[in-house]
Amino acid sequence: MTTLYYVLLVLHLVGWAIVLGGVLATMRERTLPRGALHGILTALVTGVLMVGLASSGAADVGEPDNTKIAVKLLVAVVVTALVVQGARKPAKVTNGLLGAIAGLTALNVAIAVLWR
């Protein structure tokens, strides 16, 4: 199960990279990248699965910090809502929306790395 955990971790990071890279690449055009919705859903689902594996003890990675996980989940849900809003109403995509998505994505990565 530890191997599965690390495969999910790679997919989780790829999902966040798709969102951040795609948004930064399309900011000048004020469009939501095509893969942003799939990227954020991948990041969200794999994150939940990773926490489940770690919490159950099935993966030998230690017990997760529930406060950190709650903050990361909140940020991920907000990013998901912003991406869904942008996907449903492409005419309302602004630099502010794209900046919020990029900023919150970077915040989530920073929380993952810096919160010890």
Task: State residue 38's pLDDT score.
Answer: 97
The yes-or-no verdict on residue 25 having pLDDT over 90 is yes
Residue 32 token pair:
């939501």
Task: State residue 106's pLDDT score.
Answer: 97
Using a pLDDT cut of 90, give the percent of the chain over it: 94
Over residues 13-34, the mean pLDDT reads 95
Total-model pTM: 0.92
pLDDT, tens digit, 9 for 90 and up, residues 50-103: 999 999 998 889 999 999 999 999 999 999 999 999 999 999 999 999 999 999
Q: DSSP secondary structure string, 23-59?
A: HHHTTTTT---TTHHHHHHHHHHHHHHHHHHHHHT-S
Task: State residue 59's pLDDT score.
Answer: 87
CA-based end-to-end distance of the chain: 24
Average pLDDT, the chain: 96
